[in-house]
């Protein structure tokens, strides 16, 4: 049985920082990599801010926070992962970018290292084919925000060995997360159900059935959702929403997965949601204001 003691995270954005956070909090040593020193530092600051929120909520104390931060080390070069047991790829949700990163990463790893991908929609089998170890490659899809959400989807590619799957299962269990096992089909389970709902909400806006505020209020109070679908789309990132819908549409060839033209227009405008301060809401003032 492979025992995972050290973790590498490639990509220090929202998801990568969250993965580093929960791994370090569980006692694992973590190396955090991105394309620049500034991005790694930004990821570290994200982890620190989220740990401070946990301290303020009395979920952890300051000693735990400091010990967690001490377990996360910058990894400016992929060669820094030479002795790492599991490396998690958490770069942007674009297959070309992911495949390029995986091709660059694998030569730096020891033969026994497992590679996991946090993709939310892309074929695990196809990504594995970009590596030198498809039998040691697996989808480990965390939900956003990682420190809060309890679910992790585990997805085997066609070549993933049982030993890799069991090591990944034990790793996720150590983090205190719950596993749902999905087959390797476009968008897996959560996003295959969630993203068409969001896309339909955008169609409802596009067709003038309701305003942003009306649609989100209807789903919060009428379906008991914790946040409205358009607010959730902004949180996920509209570029990520579009990417997942394109994967569904291309992979399943069903017109019901066609991305709404309004979603495409927002992405083309660079209005990607919270991360760019504008999406279906404008976040530049003291309170979010609907943009339609």
Q: Is 153 a catalytic residue?
A: yes
Residue from 153, 182, 199, 243 carrying the catalytic annotation: 153
Please tell me the total number of residues recorded for the chain in this structure: 292
Residue from 141, 182, 199, 243 carrying the catalytic annotation: 141
User: Which tokens go with 229?
Assistant: 């679908």
Q: Is 33 a catalytic residue?
A: no
Q: Is 141 a catalytic residue?
A: yes
Residue from 120, 182, 199, 243 carrying the catalytic annotation: 120
The span from the CA of 130 to the CA of 104, in Å, is 10
User: Which tokens go with 121?
Assistant: 């929609």
Distances (CA, A) of 266 to 45, 177, 204, 280: 29, 34, 15, 8
**Range list of β-strands (E), the chain:** 6-10, 29-33, 72-74, 86-89, 114-117, 137-142, 151-156, 178-182, 281-282, 289-290
Residue from 123, 191, 199, 243 carrying the catalytic annotation: 191
User: Which tokens go with 102?
Assistant: 């995986």
Dihedral sign computed on CA atoms, order 253, 205, 95, 143: negative
Catalytic residue IDs: 120, 141, 153, 191
């Amino acid at each position: 049985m492979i025992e995972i003691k050290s973790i590498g995270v490639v990509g220090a954005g929202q998801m990568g920082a969250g993965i580093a956070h929960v791994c370090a909090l569980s006692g694992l040593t973590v190396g955090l990599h991105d394309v620049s020193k500034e991005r790694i530092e930004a990821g570290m600051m994200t982890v620190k801010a989220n740990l401070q929120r946990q301290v303020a909520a009395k979920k952890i104390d300051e000693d735990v926070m400091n010990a967690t931060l001490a377990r996360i080390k910058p990894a400016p070069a992929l060669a820094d992962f030479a002795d790492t047991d599991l490396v998690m790829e958490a770069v942007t949700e674009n297959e070309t970018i992911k495949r390029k990163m995986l091709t660059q990463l694998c030569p730096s790893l020891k033969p026994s290292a497992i590679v996991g991908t946090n993709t939310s929609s892309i074929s695990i089998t196809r990504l594995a084919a970009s590596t030198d170890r498809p039998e040691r490659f697996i989808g480990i899809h965390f939900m956003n925000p990682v420190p809060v959400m309890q679910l992790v989807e585990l997805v085997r590619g066609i070549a993933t060995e049982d030993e890799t799957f069991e090591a990944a299962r034990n790793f996720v269990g150590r983090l205190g997360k719950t596993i749902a096992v999905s087959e390797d089909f476009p968008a897996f389970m959560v996003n295959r159900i969630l993203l068409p709902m969001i896309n339909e909400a955008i169609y409802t806006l596009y067709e003038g059935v309701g305003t942003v505020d009306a649609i989100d209020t209807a789903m919060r109070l009428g379906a008991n959702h914790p946040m409205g679908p358009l607010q959730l789309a902004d949180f996920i990132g509209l570029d990520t929403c579009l990417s997942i819908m394109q994967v569904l549409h291309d992979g399943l060839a069903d017109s019901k997965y066609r991305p709404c033209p309004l979603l495409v227009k927002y992405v083309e405008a660079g209005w990607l949601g919270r991360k760019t301060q504008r999406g279906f809401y404008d976040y530049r003032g003291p309170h979010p204001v609907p943009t339609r």
